[in-house]
Structure 1
Amino acid sequence: MHFKFLLTFLTLFSVTIINSQNTGVLKGVITTEQGEPIMGANVHIKSLSVGTTSNEDGAFIIKRIASNSYNIEVSYLGYNTIIKKITISNSQTIMNFILKESSYMLEGVVITSQKREQKNKDVPIAITSYGTDFIENQGTFEYDALSEYVPGFQVQIQSVNNPGIVIRGITSDSGDSRVEPRVSIFQDGVSISKSRGSVVELYDIERVEVLKGPQGTLFGRGAQIGAMHIIQNKAKNETSGAVKVGYGNFNQFLATGHYNAPLVDDKLFFRAAAIYNKRDGFIKNISGGNLNGKETVAFRTSFKYLINDDTTLDLIANWQKDTPPGTSFKSGTFAPLKGDTNPNTFADLERGEELGLDRTVYGVTAILKHELNDTWDVTSTTAYRKFNSDEAFDADGTVAPALFFHEISKGKQFSQEFRFNFDTDDKFRGFFGTNFFYEDGSQHVPWEYNEQSVAMLFLNPTFLVSNGFSVLSPNLPDDPATFGALSGAFLKQFNTESNTNFGENYSGDVFADASYDLTDKLSVTLGLRATLENINAGYQVTDSENPSALSYLLGNNPNVLFTSTNGKKIEASETFLSAVGRFAINYDINDNITLFGTTSRGRRPNVISVTATETNILSDEIVWSYEIGGKSLFLNNRLQFDMNAYMYAYSNFQTTITKFENGNLVSTPEDSGNASSFGFEAAAQYAFTKSSSFFANYGYIDASFDDKDTNGNEQALAGNTFRLTPKHSFSIGFNINPKINENLEFFFRPTYTYKSKVFFEETNLPNISQEGFGILNYRVGLTINKTYELGFYMNNALDKQYIVDAGNTGGAFGIPTFIAGAPRFFGAQLKVKF
């Protein structure tokens, strides 16, 4: 099969691998208006993906350019970009450029969310985009830190194995291999959405774009309510590099960097980047070790090969290993010895240093692009990805040997997309194509327990822990009236049982998305995607080898928690055909202001819910989205302001509920009926000097379950707010860079973020929530000769205590657990560019 695919792939593109016979040379000098040479200016021929930089004399040269006419782009930070059409002959073409000093260009102005480069202002989608400089300036390597600066976007990370990703109130956090996420995470055009493999370190990043609203047309079957696209830096035709090292409290150590170089002049380029980021846990565990720490090592290598004048190949390989200590699921009911139930103080969790995560994620992506002519190009994106993780956690949050679990998740995927892009006379543009996606995953959950402790949890949880010590019952109580023949039965000190869910999915898409300019000011966009998917789900329980008295007592023999499947793997399979789409209008009031409106349909695929006792097929979850907004770009790209309002209507809203019912722990997706959401967002950026800027954003979300379902029945969760959804959130920040002298610059980068009260479960229990709070971060330092940067950072400078999650598995047993948020972190970092 792989050979046939490879043969087809090579055959399709072999006709494009033809070197040009007639080539020329472009050379020249780049200077300021005052005649001073500019070193490091970029000269780029976009259609060929060829470029270079000017030397210390401002001179540049690009060789072996096929004879033709090209748009040459010359750019340098702090100067206006020049785009000029030049005809290259068979000999030497000399062209000099004079750059005019300009205002500082804001990041996020140019985006690629519609599969082509456009200004954010011209795209009829609510998008927040942050580039290399912003991510570097904020010292952001994790999703949750970045999400604080994106209105309508929230990320909760219990561990890198268990993220909760929220766009406009809709949460995607299920680790069940049978459930498709609502929010798509993409990396260089490839879906990495499955929860347990979706968190990757943000290092050597070109840009991160967050698209809000249904994005099925652009990003596929899982982008029901939005998508995050991570665009990594690719290999370039230049020699460059940088290294950053840092040290902070809690023994935080950071080392990251990249190196880029041509391997064959103007033909083959190489780039490598890596990061090691480690920090001790900030919650002491008196049973051993620390909790809520971090340890990540990641490596990326990429190659760009200019096959000929019209064809390029990018090959990107990523590998990441995460081995942090365990997560502090601290009990809010039972205090550790000489401690309290405050989640931010020390804990006493069973197994001590055995708690933690071991996760490996890796993948390879090949992006082959061919320019057919000035109007058409075709892109092939081929990718393979795999992850394995094993997380050990104490779900009861105490020293009691009751609820110690592992979650062992595995997943692999293969995808192939062919996309044809076109742009005709600046009036009609878009793309169409096809996509194949395959994934195979499983989630295995072993439970190891002491029956003497579990008996206390089930029969009298008030005494699970007493004065910081686990309470054990060697036997069931000697009470024949209550326990009958099991009265006084012996309880074992150790037992195990487990369950596993399986998911294997195949999907094929055809899609098209096009925009047409009805007038110079008014354009319309229509997008459609049809999907045929085969969904396969399975479930199996591995029974306890030593049936206990508890299993008989609870009527669940031979297990205590998991109803037996009698050694069998229960499987179900269905095929579904679906369609999603969008219609949008864009109206340019003038060169600075654009209004847009969209109507779109999003879909979350059907779920096949398989348990030991029944198999149910949940309807696909549908959302209709209606949105209006405005975008602006003023003062020669110095001021950007966006605002939008939206309304969503959901049907067949699915939620995963974990509960202890009839002696069984049940965690299955359910259909909770109808829900709705409406909100408002605003964001602004302003560059008040060439090197100093300001940003601010605000989001309002009112998202809740409707009073009645589609059949007119009262809903159990009627009126409840969606989990992890603050009604109000905002962030504000400055990047201030005054120049001390020609060789020395000072920088000061403070940010403040706030979010109002959130509930951690859709039941909206008042004690399973976090009141509103704000976090102050700042970075300060010096830049020397634009080469060295020495900085000091402090995150959560006011040392605000808060929680990031509550309830969890322990909540299903009536003993909710709580996870502390990060305390004050501070440290120093040194960066060197070369």
Structure 2
Amino acid sequence: MYFKFLLTFLTLFSITTVNSQNTGVLKGVIITEQGQPIMGANVHIKSLSIGTTSNEKGEFILKKIANNSYTVEVSYLGYNTVSKKVVVNNSETIQNFILKESSYMLEGVVITSQKREQKNKDVPIAITSYGTEFIENQGTFEYDALSEYVPGFQVQIQSVNNPGIVIRGITSDSGDSRVEPRVSIFQDGVSISKSRGSVVELYDIERIEVLKGPQGTLFGRGAQIGAMHIIQNKAKNETSGAVKVGYGNYNQILTTGYFNAPVVEDKLFFRAAAIYNKRDGFIKNLSGGDLNGKETAAFRTSFKYLINDDTTLDLIANWQKDTPPGTSFKSGTYAPLGGDTNPNTFADLERGEELGLDRTVWGVTGILKHELNDIWDVTSTTAYRKFNSDEAFDADGTVAPALFFHEISKGKQFSQEVRFNFDTDDKFRGFFGANFFYEDGSQEVPWELDERSFAMLILNPAAFVLNGIPTLLPNIPNDPAAFGAIAGAPLSSYNKERNTNFGKNYSGDIFADASYDVTDKLSFTVGLRATWEDINAAYQVEDAATPSNLGYLTGNYPNILFATTNGEKIEASESFLSAVGRFAVNYDINNNITLFGTAARGRRPNVISVTATETNILSDETVLSYEIGAKSLFLNNRLQFDMNAYMYAYSNFQTTITKFENGKLVSTPEDSGNASSFGFEAAAQYAFTKSSSFFANYGYIDASFDDKDSNGNEQVLAGNTFRLTPKHSFSIGFNINPKINENLEFFFRPTYTHKSKVFFEETNLPNISQDGYGILNYRVGLTINKTYELGFYMNNALNKQYIIDAGNTGGAFGIPTFIAGAPRFFGAQLKVKFYI
């Protein structure tokens, strides 16, 4: 149905194609001041949304251009951008360009976070932006690696199915289909925020922007405390490509690249990009296989269709398949046979090679843009997305057959947004529009066990595993005084039960955001988004395959863990109306320094918590944010320095705590009351030569639960620090590129990142934490004729041992598990790129 919709969508707009009879050709040569041709320079006519690149002789040509006057922009890295007015007529128009060598333009200077192209310095939001060059220079393909370079941003990835994404202390990681994330992840303007489908490989990326603070006006209902926007490279009017291959330790194999070409001259363009990234696990599993590895294959194809002079259509399709081995949830209580409880050494998790993930994510996005006139344009974004994942994991972290789980998550979504943008080129600019969003998902958790082993865990945990060997209890102890009528009852060697939660939501938004220049130096921005939500939640428990005698002990008979719903689906629904907004002010002290301040309200939607015994509607979680900062750009865009300070006040802060109590495993969202945070961030970039640069950033966060809730009651978590939130973090790095001769360049790119102690749970238990540590990475190599690149990399060069998570499901049973961080990775990579 959705493919038919998109095909119809494309066909209808194809009919509107206009073939002008009065067209001409624009051609020319692009050279340096010294008369040398420039290959790969970008030639762009913005009003027509067309462009090309110069060939090896510096020549360019644009055909079938309607007779008119245009502004032609020519740009090339390391040279000043040149714009000229050119009149195209029926004959051949020749316009040559001479580019003057300039100071290096830092990446991240230009952003589109406010849905229009602006300099970062002029946007009243704390933003970190990295472009293609930085991402490729660091060899970054995953969120967690990127987050090390963004102050106030932390990402923990147990597996691509289970990420923890943190902005300024607020974590978004729940896999419950009924719970909305606090941090929004967007891909080309489309939300991909649901936890189990949100991790995508970062390849052939144009830019990534991380926005901090409530961004509901710009990015919708899930951006309570911030958003990350991934902007992928689209098809262009050029023939170009690149291929990178690599090999590293732990049998790491990398192949990635792209190809871009016109299909119909100056009308229809095509781009395809792909990646395959595989690495064996670095934790050996005695029961078979390895753990904490990677295997991802992803493919993207996109088309750009120039429908007429004012209308363009981008169609992008993404597909990703993840099949890594299992995650090493290693017990910190019971050592494997011949080993120890160190998370960084070998483990012995039951089921061996059965552990692992099988996840597929795919989606299609259509972006239609039409320029109404010089002031107004309209953008329609239509998208459909689907994910399906099955992750098998051993929650007790031992060879004992007690807590073997699957998590089977499914989700699909459809979204449609229409946005009108305006810019008077005078004092007033902004956008308004509407959005519809539909999602339908589920999270199924089957549990398989040997009842004889699980009985030992709950009745005699000291003997659960002895010397690496699980202890099995064949019968409930024959003690009528303690166990009544079931004393001595037999326990089976295999049983299975499962629970499933369901979430189906509809939402509609209307939004508006505008900026007004009061004077040449002072401007105000106001934004508002109103949202209607229809939230539907459900819960279902299937009875155990065989009624269990242990169920009499836990009170869940015929089940053991999951209180039965007698196989029925318990459903609840509710509708909500809400609004969020922002007010911001910008003040230009001079051409180099801008001050900004913001006040905003963020919101996380209400949660309908359905269990076998009760249904609760949790209040929507809200935050009031206040921030001030300064942004600067000096030395002809060679030096960028930003700093900001913020305060947040949260109400109805929700946490999900998993615990085993009264014989039941309970994992439901809870309202933990009030919380607050304040912090400071600073970031700097400096290009000390045209090809060499330096960056550094620092973040300080003090985020904790308040002593009392809004009713004056003492809070259980009072004073506790938010999970996954280091108080101090910083990173520093260099990109050093000395030229050996005209054809050969050397590069050296070291980075160092550090974060202070983090707790992995809101309970702040000292053993469920990681002390502060630092990681050193570097890349070194040669570039030949700007076409070939041969490099060597080493990540975690000092082989620092650390953990990325602790507690987990095992912690609910009093036997926490621990996940090791990555050891030293190293390897070599070869890259080849071309332009035609």
Same fold (TM over 0.5): yes
The question of whether the paired residues in 1 share the 8 Å contact of 2:13 and 2:307 is answered with no
> Which SS does the other structure have where 1:81 is aligned?
strand
Correspondence list, 1:431-442, <5 A: 431-442=431-442
The question of whether the paired residues in 2 share the 8 Å contact of 1:237 and 1:266 is answered with yes
Tell me the equivalent position of 1:402: 402
Tell me the equivalent position of 1:140: 140
**Structure 1 residue runs without a partner (length 5+):** none
Tell me the equivalent position of 1:71: 71
Separation in 1, partners of 2:3, 2:347: 55
Tell me the equivalent position of 1:127: 127
Tell me the equivalent position of 2:764: 764
Tell me the equivalent position of 2:679: 679
Separation in 2, partners of 1:794, 1:432: 47
The structural deviation recorded for 1:217 is: 0.5
Matched, 1:227 2:227: yes
Amino acid at match of 1:717: L
Tell me the equivalent position of 1:582: 582
Correspondence list, 1:87-486, <5 A: 87-486=87-486
Tell me the equivalent position of 2:633: 633
- 1:254-283 deviations in Å (ceiling 9; x for gaps): 011111111111111111111000000000
Tell me the equivalent position of 2:488: 488
The alpha-carbon distance between structure 1 residues 196 and 138, as it changes in their structure 2 partners (threshold 3 A), is: same
> Which SS does the other structure have where 1:349 is aligned?
coil
Separation in 2, partners of 1:380, 1:646: 34
The question of whether the paired residues in 2 share the 8 Å contact of 1:20 and 1:309 is answered with no
> Which SS does the other structure have where 1:455 is aligned?
helix
TM-score (norm 1): 0.98
The question of whether the paired residues in 2 share the 8 Å contact of 1:402 and 1:450 is answered with yes
The alpha-carbon distance between structure 1 residues 667 and 277, as it changes in their structure 2 partners (threshold 3 A), is: same
Separation in 2, partners of 1:474, 1:127: 60
- 1:18-71 deviations in Å (ceiling 9; x for gaps): 443432222222221222222221110112111112223322221111223322
The question of whether the paired residues in 2 share the 8 Å contact of 1:214 and 1:223 is answered with yes
The alpha-carbon distance between structure 1 residues 10 and 270, as it changes in their structure 2 partners (threshold 3 A), is: closer
Separation in 2, partners of 1:214, 1:89: 50
Tell me the equivalent position of 2:806: 806
The structural deviation recorded for 1:707 is: 0.5
Separation in 1, partners of 2:91, 2:591: 40
> Which SS does the other structure have where 1:165 is aligned?
strand
The structural deviation recorded for 1:3 is: 11
Separation in 2, partners of 1:167, 1:692: 30
Separation in 2, partners of 1:832, 1:92: 35
Structure 1 vs Structure 2 CA RMSD = 1.5
> Which SS does the other structure have where 1:649 is aligned?
strand
The structural deviation recorded for 1:15 is: 9.2
Separation in 1, partners of 2:528, 2:723: 31
The structural deviation recorded for 1:17 is: 4.1
- 1:749-794 deviations in Å (ceiling 9; x for gaps): 0000000000000000000000000000000011111111111100
Amino acid at match of 1:25: V
Amino acid at match of 2:135: I
> Which SS does the other structure have where 1:236 is aligned?
coil
The question of whether the paired residues in 1 share the 8 Å contact of 2:45 and 2:70 is answered with yes
The structural deviation recorded for 1:709 is: 0.4
Tell me the equivalent position of 2:746: 746
The question of whether the paired residues in 2 share the 8 Å contact of 1:790 and 1:831 is answered with yes
Instruction: After superposing the two structures, state which structure 1 stretch, 21-30 or 735-744, moved more.
Output: 21-30
The structural deviation recorded for 1:9 is: 6.1
Tell me the equivalent position of 1:561: 561
The structural deviation recorded for 1:427 is: 1.2
The structural deviation recorded for 1:494 is: 0.2
Tell me the equivalent position of 1:41: 41
Amino acid at match of 2:176: D
The question of whether the paired residues in 1 share the 8 Å contact of 2:14 and 2:307 is answered with no
Separation in 2, partners of 1:372, 1:418: 14
- 1:140-161 deviations in Å (ceiling 9; x for gaps): 0000000000000000000000
The question of whether the paired residues in 2 share the 8 Å contact of 1:16 and 1:311 is answered with no
Amino acid at match of 1:213: G
The question of whether the paired residues in 2 share the 8 Å contact of 1:17 and 1:311 is answered with no
> Which SS does the other structure have where 2:749 is aligned?
strand
The question of whether the paired residues in 1 share the 8 Å contact of 2:276 and 2:295 is answered with yes
Tell me the equivalent position of 2:540: 540
Separation in 1, partners of 2:2, 2:409: 26
Separation in 2, partners of 1:68, 1:630: 42
Tell me the equivalent position of 2:815: 815
Separation in 2, partners of 1:15, 1:720: 61
Matched, 1:776 2:776: yes
> Which SS does the other structure have where 2:129 is aligned?
strand
Amino acid at match of 1:100: K
Separation in 1, partners of 2:399, 2:426: 67
The alpha-carbon distance between structure 1 residues 379 and 12, as it changes in their structure 2 partners (threshold 3 A), is: farther
- 1:86-105 deviations in Å (ceiling 9; x for gaps): 33334333222111111111
The alpha-carbon distance between structure 1 residues 7 and 259, as it changes in their structure 2 partners (threshold 3 A), is: closer
- 1:269-302 deviations in Å (ceiling 9; x for gaps): 1111110000000000001010000000000111
Tell me the equivalent position of 2:599: 599
- 1:652-677 deviations in Å (ceiling 9; x for gaps): 00010111121110000000000001
Separation in 1, partners of 2:68, 2:238: 24
**Structure 2 residue runs without a partner (length 5+):** none
The question of whether the paired residues in 1 share the 8 Å contact of 2:2 and 2:384 is answered with no
Identity %: 88
Amino acid at match of 2:420: F
The question of whether the paired residues in 1 share the 8 Å contact of 2:803 and 2:821 is answered with yes
The structural deviation recorded for 1:308 is: 0.8
> Which SS does the other structure have where 1:80 is aligned?
strand
Separation in 2, partners of 1:347, 1:20: 69
- The count of corresponding residues between Structure 1 and Structure 2 is 834
Separation in 2, partners of 1:36, 1:207: 30
Separation in 2, partners of 1:726, 1:327: 24
Separation in 1, partners of 2:554, 2:2: 51
The question of whether the paired residues in 2 share the 8 Å contact of 1:442 and 1:502 is answered with yes
The structural deviation recorded for 1:7 is: 11
The alpha-carbon distance between structure 1 residues 403 and 698, as it changes in their structure 2 partners (threshold 3 A), is: same
- 1:608-632 deviations in Å (ceiling 9; x for gaps): 0000000000010000100000101
Amino acid at match of 1:331: S
The structural deviation recorded for 1:218 is: 0.5
Separation in 2, partners of 1:7, 1:328: 44
The structural deviation recorded for 1:411 is: 0.3
The alpha-carbon distance between structure 1 residues 257 and 673, as it changes in their structure 2 partners (threshold 3 A), is: same
